[in-house]
Amino acid sequence: MDRKMDDINVLHHRCLLNLRRRIRDIGDGRQAQERYMRIQKDGDALSYQGNSEEVGCYVAGHPLSKGNCYFEVTIVDTGVRGTIAVGLVPKFYRLDHQPGWLPYSVAYHADNGKLYNGNPVGQEFGPKCARDDRIGCGIHSENTEAGFTTVFFTKNGKEVGSVEVPVSAEGLFPAVGMHSMGEEVKVDLQAEWFLEVDDGMMMVDSHEDDWGRLYDVRVTGTLLEYVGKGKSIMDVGLAQARQPLTTRCHYYEVEIVDAGEKCYIALGLARRDYPRNRHPGWSRGSVAYHADDGKIFHGSGVGDAFGPRCFKGDIMGCGIMFPRDYILDGEGDVDDWDRVEVRPDHASVQNVLYLDDEEEEEEDGEEVEQGQEGRKVTVFFTRNGKLMGRREMRVPPGGLYPTVGMLSSGEKVKVDLHPLSG
């Protein structure tokens, strides 16, 4: 009996060793394998080998990751139709479908410049691509919590746009699709992407040092002016402050100087890596008050009734009510702010730096993360000095940054990032 038990134990031990070895092999990539169909691969060159009626697709063996978050595809030949797609797909994506057509996949298509995001119907996104053009695709790797990440695309080294997409457990794998005779590309899975070389994102100089990110927005002193196309929802102009709101600077204001054609002006707060072509409030990690309809958008493209519409001359404000024990790294004593008012001539808006004791909502047992990330704060909005309402949200990594969006020609706003005095 004892010998039989010993044999069983030995067998059990061997099974455990084999299982651990398989897990280790998968973890270090030994079993990772490229997959492709109706595609000929020669080194880094891919060429279409179908009959132009069926899709050919290539999927890389490794997903994008923090250490390798970007890749590029150079179009060598557009073939008959130039139906080349570059994007990201799940590990076991169907190879008879273009990237972007099926759920959990996204791709930029060269023939029409459209973005396909888990749907066979594309949306207007960027310019068409031709021979010798480079199409790049990457992820903002610091933002993969809750099963989402921001995917961005480039053309010839310049960012075209970005979109928030869900991420499967295995990650997102570089993919190339083709659909007509003669199409050929070269793939660089080790390409590097440096934000500072992108003309679309203006890294501000000392004259504009309040702003960290500017897309289709021109800055003249405190004036922001929309200079985008204003043709579709992908043409959002975005301005994001260089510094997040803190307990020392917890509120800012925007005055509508010119409502433009549609007054598609929004102000709010957003995470540091917020997508450039999304209005504040539309995507996760943001909240905003929209002037054109008076609605509040909180991480969703569907807004809720909130306050009145805003017009030329109106002043919209946004701030944070911090819990009393909320201290950001590097901040000191904040007692001097207890008597601060939003604006002397807007007496109806009192200092709301901290929640009143009776309004504080204690969350028993909630652990405070280092740097206060993940803590709940209350975001509030004002119109012409009067409080419009509040929304609770959690602080994303890096904090919440003042973010202004515009979307129709002629829109101009004047921004005061430090309106408080006392």
How far apart CA 223 and CA 127 sit, in angstroms, is 29
- CA-wise closest residue to 170 among 135, 137, 192, 144: 144
How far apart CA 411 and CA 422 sit, in angstroms, is 32
pLDDT at 337: 31
In this structure, how many other beta carbons lie within 10 angstroms of the beta carbon of residue 318? Answer: 26
Total-model pTM: 0.53
311 pLDDT tier (thresholds 50, 70, 90): very high
Q: Which residues of 170-198 are buried (b: 16+ CB within 10 A; e: fewer)?
A: ebbbbbbbbbbeebbbebebebebeeeeb
Length of the chain: 422
Q: Residues of the chain with pLDDT > 90: what percent?
A: 62
pLDDT at 355: 42
Decide whether 32-188 matches 211-325+375-416 in CATH topology.
yes
11 pLDDT tier (thresholds 50, 70, 90): very low
Of the listed ranges 204-213, 283-292, 317-326, 331-340, the least confidently predicted one is 331-340
Tell me: domain 32-188, CATH 2.40.10.10, correct?
A: no
pLDDT at 6: 52
- Taking CA atoms, 255 is separated from 69, 207, 321, 415, in Å, by 39, 21, 22, 6
137-169 confidence digits (pLDDT tens): 999 765 555 678 889 999 998 999 889 888 878
How far apart CA 121 and CA 244 sit, in angstroms, is 37
Looking at domain 211-325+375-416, its CATH architecture is Sandwich (2.60)
- Specify burial of residue 207 (Cβ count, 10 A radius: 0-12, 13-18, 19+): exposed
326-380 confidence digits (pLDDT tens): 765 444 333 333 333 333 334 334 444 444 433 333 333 333 334 455 789 999 9
209 pLDDT tier (thresholds 50, 70, 90): confident
Of the listed ranges 5-9, 56-60, 358-362, the least confidently predicted one is 358-362
Structure tokens at 192: 């590097």
Is pLDDT of 261 > 60? yes
Residue-averaged pLDDT of the chain: 81
Domain borders along the chain are 32-188, 211-325+375-416
393 pLDDT tier (thresholds 50, 70, 90): very high
pLDDT at 372: 56
pLDDT at 373: 59
Identify the bridge partners of residue 159 per DSSP, sorted by sequence position: 154
Average pLDDT over every residue of 76-83: 94
Identify the bridge partners of residue 289 per DSSP, sorted by sequence position: 267, 296
pLDDT at 328: 54
How far apart CA 72 and CA 223 sit, in angstroms, is 37
pLDDT at 32: 67
239 pLDDT tier (thresholds 50, 70, 90): very high
